Structure 1
Amino acid sequence: MTDAGCDDRTVLPATEPVPGAATATPPAGGPRAEALIELDAVRHNVALLSGAAARSGAETMVVVKADGYGHGAPGVARAALSAGATRLGVATLDEALAVRSAGIDAPLLSWLHLPDEDFAAAVAAGVELSVSSREHLAAVLAGARAAGRPVRLHLKADTGLSRNGCPPGEWAGLVDDAEVAAADGTAELTAVWSHLARADEPGDPSIDAQAARLHEAVAHVRARGFAPLRHLANSAATLTRPDLHLDLVRTGIAAYGLDPIAQPADSPLRPAMTLRGRVALVKTVPAGEGVSYGHEFVSTGPRVLALVPLGYADGVPRRGNDRGRMRVRIGGTIRPVAGRVCMDQFVVDCGTPGALEVAVGDPVELFGTGAADGPTAREWADELGTIHYEIVTGIKGRVRRTVRDGGGA
């Protein structure tokens, strides 16, 4: 049974993941390629994470950058706020303004910008902004003056990731400028924060070293008479280091049900995205036939093959079957992919004739919750030598996003 016509879902057009894609009505059998998003899973995850933060006296920010990690930022944001989150986070100004244009007015932080961007619209929309340098701060303050209202600042300290963030030797100067801006009413010094490099490796000494550096940066700000919020914990630290919850945790990947530490069978989180397609063609080939480019798969006997019309243009990695271990669920059974993934399609080995009932139009699950030993984004990532963040954020192209909202946890 497909989800077509169900009352509890909203079908968002394919322009959600990829601007300009077609928005044709899905056929009766369901979309050709679909990312099914379960907002009740997001609620479950956020309730678990925000509950852990609340026990430490901390608020919870849910990060909805990259269009909600490929899940749809507006829907995820609303679900997260209904489940205990009090704040939202994005990377860019455009992402922040898109959240605001969806009618979401919760506290919202944006943190990755160039100093020559125009910050006035974001300040006018009440977006809180992170700065990591005096040059960056000057540009943000110019935006605040143009908007005619103070900007709420989060000063970011580089505590050891050596990426974004103000290095220790420049911290005093940045705080000097923020103090002047606060005194003249151009800014409010809202928070001091940083980001952990190895929180997904519990026990790594860098975690405590970074926490100590953040405490030093905060102490410098407090010595000026400010009482900023402190935030350091990402998803991994939210799950494993309650002592680092401080005033606010930032949960990204865990809100989407992908555990940064535990394997799916051990995790209390529920994956929110299932990627699925439908069989376009079924054929039987004799022994000795090569399958797909390069003939990396050659049939050893008569084999039934099913063609699935998704490929690397849709976010299914071309190297996903280099070692021949990529699996999908088809006909209720887990079966391997045969040969290379192509731009638009791949082939599934359905076994010897009669071994598996499969027909054109049948659903194919590429990854999902892992129920009944089904394939998962974590499994794909392990095969590819990457992380599940890359898998879910990479789903694109002609994949239709379907959001199912049951309205509860």
Structure 2
Amino acid sequence: MAIANSQSSRISAGPEREPQRRGRACWAEIDLGAIAFNCQALCREIGPSTELMAVVKANAYGHGISGIAETLVTAGASRFGVACVEEAVELRTAGVDAPILVLGYVPPWEADRVVRLDLTVALATRELAVALDAAARRIGRRALAHLKIDTGMSRFGVLSSELVPFAGVVAALSGIEVEAVFTHLATADEPELPLASEQLREFDRACADLARHGLMPPKRHALNSAGAFSFPEARFDIVRSGLMLYGLSPAPIPSVPPLRPALTLRARIARLRRLEPGTCVGYGCAFRAGRPTDLALLPIGYADGLSRALSNRGAALVNGRRVPMVGRISMDQCTIDVTDAGPLAEGDVATLLGSDGDETIDAVEMAGWRDTIPYEVLTSLSIRIPRLYTRDRHTVTVAENGAIVNNDSSSY
């Protein structure tokens, strides 16, 4: 590798090497065209009689709620799903007026905020039902709810054996409108296992019990991204899609349509250094150069979501070539061996997730290095990483610390 040491050589090499005027030297690029493509593909697959709920919990799986919400609505999503009230607040603040279902636990003290923001809750406790009813009476607006049934996940939800009495209690509360009933499958991405099919049969029995007692809501839903393709006969009224919206399939299911990963993670080289054989790198001297080694420092670390588990295991892309991560990932920086990467200068770009030339590193591959799942890879990305939202390769919006700040991408 040839290292260019002078500032003038970096600037003269082209716009990709211009120094930043503001902002961090690491960022995520979110392709809004890919988000729209994936959303439209899923809408076509599930058909016009089934609504698509876009699940945007955990900061839209690391992609940024505020930056992608409008694109999802335009592309066909009619509802949103979040994990907590705070995420719903972010959607409402971004101007989203579509229905929002809070899929996770909502404590009773959030009832007023839920009603004022016109949110829908996953309802499974009498305490929350009573609080919602009281809030609805105070505010003068009905509280919206989907009854959540635990059909075998053993997490949140009403057991089937307790469903009819619970639904009867809720029906007697005039301040609550129950729009739907739903469940969640434990093994939707492993359809060869029997549990998901057993859960769907239990869900059918529970819905039939509600219908016999005149308590069945207008809608029902049971499937996430994987379930929509593993069990297409159970798509019902709504499908809840998360990971597939962002361009990844949770399992190798043959019927899943082509998808486009939306997120690319990059960082600029902050320092280039030639190491002599035997030189230590990073905390604990976890890597020692075994040859004359060209080392590049990247200003991104585990506080940004680049897991410490990638130490001496991960890779990056530089000049269209794979290069290994060496030494331990630090809180705010990491190092890569660029000896075989060709000519480089400080300020050049390394890709941690995404494509460079003919090479690609996706969240599935990175998850393998970390012994985890792609969900964790994406949702781990810190809010302090700037997000650049692009369309047709042009940046249209920039978010810093989760907030849309401007439409100027010249800093990155």
TM tier relative to shorter chain: 0.7 to 0.9
Gaps of 5+ in 2: 1-13, 395-412
Q: Where do residues 204-353 of structure 1 align in structure 2 (5 Å cutoff)?
A: 204-225=193-214, 226-262=216-252, 268-321=258-311, 324-351=312-339
- Structure 1 residue 2, shift from structure 2 partner: 6.2
Aligned residue number for residue 93 of structure 1:
85
Q: Judge conservation of contact 2:306–2:329 (CA < 8 Å) in 1.
A: yes
Distance 1:177 1:375 in 2: 52
Task: Check 1:407–1:300 CA distance in 2 against 1; reply closer, same or farther (3 A cut).
Answer: closer
The answer for the alignment partner of 2:408 in structure 1 is none
1-structure distance, mates of 2:147, 2:16: 46
Q: 1:279 to 1:369 in 2, by over 3 A?
A: closer
| 1:38 aligned partner, one-letter code | D
SS in 2 for 1:374: strand
Q: Does 1:380 align with 2:327?
A: no
Tell me the CA shift for residue 62 of structure 1.
0.4
Cα deviation for residue 372 of structure 1 reads 2.3
Report the Cα distance in structure 1 between the residues aligned to 2:83 and 2:356, rounded to whole angstroms: 30
Structure 1, unaligned stretches of length 5 or more?
Answer: 6-25
What's the offset of the Cα at 1:28? 5.0
Offset at residue 305 of structure 1 (A):
0.8
Structure 1 residues 4 and 258: CA distance shift in structure 2, 3 A: farther
Structure 2 equivalent of residue 8 of structure 1: none
The reply on whether 1:147 has 2:139 as its aligned counterpart is: yes
2:110 is paired with a residue whose SS is coil
Residue identity matched to 1:337: M
State the distance in 2 between where 1:3 and 1:155 align: 52
Please give the alpha-carbon distance, in whole angstroms, between the structure 2 residues aligned to 1:195 and 1:97.
24
How many residue pairs match? The answer is 379
Q: Find the residue that maps to 1:123 and give its secondary structure.
A: helix
Local SS of the residue matching 1:198:
coil
* C-alpha separation in 2, matches of 1:369 and 1:254: 19
Shift of 1:331: 2.2
In 2 relative to 1, CA 2–395 (structure 1 residues): closer, same or farther, beyond 3 Å?
farther
Q: Which residue of 166, 187, 193 maps to 1:174?
A: 166
SS of the equivalent of 1:404 reads strand
Q: Which region of structure 1 is more displaced relative to structure 2, 116-125 or 57-66? A: 116-125
User: Helix, strand or coil: the match of 1:221?
Assistant: helix
Cα drift, residue 316 of structure 1: 0.7
Contact 1:40 1:407 in 2 (8 A): no
Task: Please say if residues 96 and 122 of structure 1, whose CA atoms lie closer than 8 Å, have aligned partners that are also in contact.
Answer: no
Alpha carbons of 1:2 and 1:232: their partners in 2 closer, same or farther (altered >3 Å)?
Answer: farther
Bigger CA drift: 61-70 or 136-145? 136-145
How far the C-alpha of 1:104 sits from its partner, in A, is: 1.0
- Of 184, 187, 190, the match for 1:195: 184
Cross-structure match for 2:343: 357
Once the two structures are TM-superposed, the CA of residue 278 in structure 1 deviates from its matched residue by 0.4
Residue deviations 1:290-345 (CA, integer Å, cap 9, x gap) = 22222222222111111111111111111212xx3311011221111111111111
Counterpart-to-counterpart distance in 1, 2:210 and 2:204? 10
* Residue 118 of structure 1: how far off its partner (Å): 2.6
Identity of aligned residues (%): 36
Measured after TM superposition, the shift of residue 166 of structure 1 is 0.8
Q: Identify, as 1 or 2, the structure richer in strand.
A: 2
Deviation at 1:268, TM superposition (A): 1.4
Kindly provide the CA deviation profile for residues 205-226 of structure 1, in whole angstroms up to 9, marking residues without a partner as x. Answer: 1111110111122112222334
CA distance in structure 1 between the aligned counterparts of 2:222 and 2:357, rounded to whole angstroms:
33
Q: Distance in 1 between matches of 2:200 and 2:16?
A: 47
Match for 2:147: what amino acid? Answer: L
Contact 1:49 1:239 in 2 (8 A): no
Q: Which residue of 1 aligns with 2:36?
A: 43
Matching residue of 1:52 = 45
Name the CA distance, whole Å, in 2 between partners of 1:178 and 1:284: 69
Task: Supply the AA of the counterpart residue of 2:134.
Answer: A
Using the size of structure 1 for normalisation, the TM-score is: 0.86
Judge conservation of contact 2:16–2:348 (CA < 8 Å) in 1: no
Q: Does structure 2 conserve the Cα–Cα contact (< 8 Å) formed by 1:370 and 1:376?
A: no
26-35 or 246-255: which moved more?
A: 26-35
**Which of 110, 120, 138 is matched with 2:130 structurally?**
138
Contact 2:247–2:261 at 8 Å: present in 1 too? Answer: yes
Q: Distance in 2 between the 1:156 and 1:125 partners?
A: 21
Q: Which range moved further: 392-401 or 45-54?
A: 392-401
Q: Are the structure 2 counterparts of residues 133 and 369 from structure 1 closer, same or farther at C-alpha, using a change threshold of 3 Å? A: farther
**Cα distance, 1:267 vs structure 2:** 6.8
SS in 2 for 1:232: strand
Measure, in 1, the Cα distance between the counterparts of 2:79 and 2:42. Answer: 13
Aligned-partner SS, 1:368: strand
Q: Tell me, yes or no, if the aligned pair for 2:295 and 2:337 is still in contact at 8 Å.
A: yes
Deviations 1:124-158 (A, max 9, x none): 32211211122222222222222211122100000
Q: What secondary structure is seen at the aligned counterpart in 2 of 1:103?
A: coil
Deviation per residue, 1:362-403 (Å, 9 max, x gap): 001001258723211111111111111111111116421111
Aligned residue identity for 1:35: A
Distance change (3 Å), C-alpha of 1:3 and 1:65: farther
Query: Partners in 2 of 1:119 and 1:49 — Cα distance?
Result: 33
Which residue identity is paired with 2:366? W
